Amino acid sequence: MLSSAVFALAAALILSAYTAGSTELYTDPREYGLWYLGVSYGIGLLLQDTYFYFTHRLFHHPKLFSWLHQGHHRSRYPTPWTSFAFDPLEAVVQALFLVGLVFVLPLHFITVIAVLATMTMWAVLNHLGPDRLPSLFPHHWLGRWLIGPAHHSIHHLKYTVHYGLYFTFWDCLLGSEDLGYRQSIKNLHPPDSKYE
């Protein structure tokens, strides 16, 4: 509930700043062109994923964990409710990204709503646990670069791997992907599988 209040305050701050004319938010989709709606949505997700990866990894530092992230990890086996379980300070750090984004990146209100909706749905989906969806999901050729319930469940069990929000590439690049994860995915789909 406290985290919800933090995000509500962030939304109020964004709307107040928009009213004062100090954000990059806009309402006319023709201002930047319709093509930009999709591009800015993709940029927003990539920036958010990057911000989340590095802050999330920082939250796991032993000196910060109990202050910023321990509440979320009370769920060793996550559920959809876990996706909303932020410690208040963690909620502040995550809300700061959204507040900062509207000051630097031109975003249509629809794009902001789409990013927020994606963030919420993705977080709920990733906290379903690995046994609630078909084993294929999201492990087809594209899905290997997307975080799904199996990927994130490993984070809740091991704590020291899988820090991303949407994409696996930061974990792959920076050595924080569980070494057995790719092999377990290959075991789901043999080399001659159409999902390779």
Cβ–Cβ < 8 Å for 141, 189 = no
Q: Cα-flanking dihedrals φ and ψ of residue 181, to 5°?
A: -65, -50
Residue % of the chain over a pLDDT of 70: 85
> pLDDT by residue (tens digit) across 84-98?
788 889 889 999 999
Partners of 167 in beta bridges? 146
Residue 10, pLDDT score: 93
Q: Which of 193, 22, 3, 6 is nearest to 102 (CA)?
A: 22
- Two tokens, residue 26: 């806009």
Cβ–Cβ < 8 Å for 169, 145 = yes
Q: Give residue 190's pLDDT band: very low, low, confident or very high (50, 70, 90).
A: very low
Q: Which of 157, 153, 150, 162 is nearest to 189 (CA)?
A: 150
Residue 65, pLDDT score: 86
Residue 116, pLDDT score: 92
Rounded CA Rg of the chain: 18
- What is the residue-averaged pLDDT of the chain? 85
Residue 194, pLDDT score: 45
> pLDDT by residue (tens digit) across 31-83?
999 999 999 999 999 999 999 999 999 999 999 888 888 877 777 777 777 77
For residue 121, give the H/E element and its range. Answer: helix 109-126
> pLDDT by residue (tens digit) across 131-158?
666 655 555 666 678 888 877 888 888 8
Residue 196, pLDDT score: 42
Round to whole Å and give the CA distance between 106 and 32.
9
Residue 147, pLDDT score: 86
The pTM assigned to this predicted structure is: 0.86
Amino acid letter, residue 147? I
Q: Give residue 115's pLDDT band: very low, low, confident or very high (50, 70, 90).
A: very high
The answer, yes or no, to whether residue 192 has pLDDT greater than 50, is: no
Residue in the structure block whose two tokens are 């800015």: 40
Helix (H, G, I), strand (E, B) or coil at 161: coil
Please work out, in degrees rounded to the nearest 5, the angle formed at the alpha carbon of residue 155 by the alpha carbons of 174 and 122.
Answer: 95
Residue 189, pLDDT score: 46
Round to whole Å and give the CA distance between 114 and 50.
18
> pLDDT by residue (tens digit) across 97-110?
999 999 999 999 99
Residue 4 CB contacts under 8 Å (≥ 6 apart), including other chains: 84
